[in-house]
Amino acid sequence: MANNSEARPRWRVPRTNNPKVHRRLQEALTEAVAAVLYGDPWEAQQLIGQFERAFGQALGHRHVSAVQSGSAGLRLALLACGVRPGDEVITVANSDIATTAAISHCGASPVLCDVRADDYTIDPDRVAVLIGERTVGLLPVDLHGHPSDAAALRAIADRHGLFIVQDATLATGARDRGQRLGAYADMIVFSCSPFKPFSGIGSGGLVATEQPPLWERVELLKGYGARRGATPPVTYYHLVEGYNLSMSPMEAAVLAVKLPYLATWSAKRRLIGQWYAERLAGIPGVGLPQPRREAEAIYRTYTVQVPQRDEVYRRLHEQGIHAALHYVPPVHQQPVYRERRLRGADSLPITEALAARTLSLPVDPEFTEAEVDLVCDVLRATLAMTPRP
């Protein structure tokens, strides 16, 4: 029987060219990894702090905490904001399960808000009606690298005394209204897992904030809830029952080598978005993503809407184009939530319509125009031979 790697198609246009990038950075990466493997473990731990500071400087965040994953980052950020059992946090259904699960893992309930049809992010006009007595915060998702309208959400949050934790796991490198992403949120969370716009080798995440107490809380919770004792014999005071959710030094070492390229990669993602938009404009039945004008989206994928989506997806794969589906079905239709009837789940018409039509075309900073041409040519040909429903 063929093993997984033999069975996997060789993509003509892959979703990520990370292996190619890693080969180009081979010397620096090997040196960084070797320092962790063969060096003093104490010094390896210092790499995490160094990387946190470098990331904060590069993206304009004052306090950064490197954690084990985006999922861990979301949970720690919510806990730092004080989410407790019985609370409600408003978010979206067209996201990874990690978003709603982070809320549930705090003992709180996700409340689901519909999204805008143009950029697929939470619709601020629909948030206010969902706010109830138990609502403590908002958790918007910058889907596909499109910044959600955090400024509009901030105004709502301030009126109702809510926090904002921004799920920017798909949007590292994006900006909004000329500012760093997260400027309107209390905390912002990035992911460094594979297929994310800024990825390492395994799992990783970053939580950023301008508010020292929130940052201190995340640091405490991710490190066993411990504070170092000032004098022997006390080496640690455990202030809370924390977790072991710090980023691994190996991940930090790799990400630190890649960080100087993030701005170039983000600009290239924007350019690839333009290439797609130019080539796919005006094809009957095809809807293009329209991130807000004031936002600088980074296109983790270029996610279009096509009526005969499932068939097109299948044919693109046959042709070696690594298209993807995000997120099908949306979380409220997943087995885990079907019985729970989350508040808001009965009123998500745009989310459900998008889940039936959206198709994520690959975007990677290594792409040339020829690769985008190929994806668009195959898509056009596929649409021509696929009967409209």
Ligand X SMILES: Cc1ncc(COP(=O)(O)O)c(C=O)c1O
Helices and strands counted in the chain (H then E): 14, 14
**String of DSSP letters for 206-220:** EEEES-HHHHHHHHH
Work out how close the CB of 24 gets to ligand X at its nearest, in angstroms, rounded to a whole number.
24
Residue 33 in tokens: 């990894």
Site for ligand X in 105-144 (CB under 6 A): 141
Residue showing the smallest CB distance to ligand X in the complex: 70
Pair of tokens at residue 284: 């009957």
Q: Interaction with ligand X in 212-271: which residues (CB under 6 A)?
A: none
Among the candidate windows 5-13, 67-75, 156-164, 266-274, which touches ligand X by CB under 6 A?
67-75
Conformation bin of residue 111: beta by default, left when phi > 0, alpha when psi is -120 to 50: beta
Using the minimum distance from each CB to ligand X, give the nearer residue, 52 or 371. Answer: 52
- Any contact of residue 170 with ligand X (CB under 6 A)? yes
In the complex, least distance from residue 94 CB atom to ligand X, rounded to whole angstroms: 9
**Out of 169, 266, 301, 319, the residue judged to bind ligand X by CB under 6 A:** 169
- In the bound complex, what is the minimum distance in angstroms from residue 238's beta carbon to ligand X? 26
**Position 354 contacts ligand X (CB under 6 A):** no
Q: Is 296 in the site for ligand X (CB under 6 A)?
A: no
Which stretch in 63-71, 79-87, 246-254, 350-358 sits in contact with ligand X by CB under 6 A? 63-71
DSSP helix/strand/coil, 228 = strand
Q: 42 φ, ψ to 5°?
A: -65, -45
Write down the least CB distance from residue 124 to ligand X, Å: 18
Please report whether residue 205 would count as binding ligand X according to CB under 6 A: yes
Give the position of tokens 């309208």. 149
* Tokens 């010094």 sit on residue: 43
- Alpha carbons within 13 A on the beta-carbon side of 36: 17
When binding is defined by CB under 6 A, the residue of 99, 246, 248, 351 that contacts ligand X is 99
Distance of alpha carbon 351 from alpha carbon 97, whole angstroms = 15
- By the rule CB under 6 A, 98 interacts with ligand X: yes
Count residues binding ligand X (CB under 6 A): 15
The reply to whether 95 sits near ligand X by the rule CB under 6 A is: yes
Please tell me whether residue 167 binds ligand X under the rule CB under 6 A.
Answer: yes
Contacts of 265 (CB under 8 A, 6+ apart): 173, 197, 198, 365
User: Minimum Å distance from CB 237 to ligand X?
Assistant: 30
Candidate segments 48-56, 84-92, 162-170, 348-356, binder of ligand X by CB under 6 A: 162-170
Query: Which residue lies nearer to ligand X by CB, 136 or 207?
Result: 207
- Three-state secondary-structure class, residue 297: coil
Q: How far is the CB of 245 from ligand X (least distance, A)?
A: 11
Phi, psi dihedrals of residue 13, rounded to the nearest 5°: -130, 105
Contacts of 275 (CB under 8 A, 6+ apart): 369, 372
Closest CA relative to residue 219, chosen from 43, 74, 66: 66
Judged by beta carbon, residue 170 or residue 218, the one nearer ligand X is: 170
Q: Compute the least distance from the CB of residue 296 to ligand X, in Å.
A: 19
Interstrand relation of 226-228 and 301-305 (parallel, antiparallel or unpaired): unpaired
- Using the contact rule CB under 6 A, the part of the chain among 8-16, 92-100, 239-247, 328-336 near ligand X is 92-100
DSSP per-residue codes, 92-161: ESSS-HHHHHHHHHTT-EEEEE-B-TTT-SB-GGGTGGG--TTEEEE--B-GGG----HHHHHHHHHHHT
Max Cα-Cα span within the chain: 75
Least distance from C-beta 43 to ligand X, angstroms? 26
Pick from 191, 199, 351, 360: which binds ligand X (CB under 6 A)? Answer: 191
- Compute the least distance from the CB of residue 295 to ligand X, in Å: 17
The residue to which tokens 């504070």 are assigned: 227
Return the residue of 14, 66, 70, 343 that touches ligand X, per CB under 6 A. Answer: 70
75 vs 217, which CB is nearer to ligand X? 75
> Is residue 96 at the binding interface for ligand X, with CB under 6 A as the rule?
yes
Separation between Cα atoms, residue 126 and residue 47, nearest integer Å: 43
Which residues contact ligand X by CB under 6 A? 69-71, 95-96, 98-99, 141, 167, 169-170, 191, 193, 203, 205
